[in-house]
Amino acid sequence: MAEFVRLEVTDGVGTLRLDRPKMNALDAQVQTELLEAAREADRRDDVAAVVVWGGERVFAAGADVKEMAEMGFPEMFRHAHLLQDFTRAVAAIGKPTVSAITGFALGGGLELALATDLRFCADNAKLGQPEIALGIIPGAGGTQRLARLIGPAKAKDLIYTGRFVAADEALTLGLVDEVLPADAVYERAVQWASQFVGGPAIALRTAKDVIDRGLEVDLQTGLEIERAGFTGLFATQDQADGMRSFVENGPGKATFTGK
């Protein structure tokens, strides 16, 4: 039984719930539990979409600095794999994902949020990559995902300065997708995730895979990835059911089985 991270499933929506008082610091144990919970959410058929949430007060204030301060190069050489593996596991969930950000999302906390498809943010939240103040750089994907999301110049500004970004600026930068009152963030994230319950699960997984893989290659290679994903869906029952329903009953009335 995990101590600080649990997967809670309600009506087809899985919540990856961080609960390590008082600031959800991401030590090695939390990282491992996040990795395992993300993999569970990916493989469970009763989970259609995933919300990552740290609770009403804080999303995650970053990696556990006290733990890292005692590490030298040999220890960090080993630990750095886990540091990236937990965000890779969240990014690899083959279902729609969204972070519900309240309070602080700093350092590893922001890197966790960057690993989801969308980010919904409380109007009083603070986001940032302050690692530079510790004499280091982001190590759980921040340098790569942040630059891909908001562009290299804006990412360099945030990483070079380590400054905190308020919700309104985060929205302007494209760092978050919606800003809401703090008490509405989680509910809105669940509402967004709920629309995929009963949806064409294989097509959704394929869409996510094609988009993410396409971002890593040139346009022509990306188009080939898209073509392979598109044609592959014609081997699914959902494609047959979806098109038959469209022809017979019009759009938006198909029932999908995820097969």
Residues labelled as active-site residues: 111, 131
For 135, the token pair is 């004499």
HSE (side-chain half, CA atoms, 13 Å) at 29: 12
Instruction: Give the position of tokens 């890593």.
Output: 216
Nearest alpha-carbon partner for 116 in 136, 86, 139? 86
**Secondary structure, 3-state, the chain:** CCCCEEEEEECCEEEEEECCCCCCCECHHHHHHHHHHHHHHHHCCCCCEEEEECCCCCCECCECHHHHHCCCHHHHHHHHHHHHHHHHHHHCCCCCEEEEECCEEECHHHHHHHCCCEEEEECCCEEECHHHHHCCCCCCCHHHHHHHHHCHHHHHHHHHHCCCEEHHHHHHHCCCCEEECHHHHHHHHHHHHHCCCCCCHHHHHHHHHHHHHHCCCCHHHHHHHHHHHHHHHHHCHHHHHHHHHHHHHCCCCCCCCCC
Q: What's CA 122's distance to the chain center, in Å?
A: 16
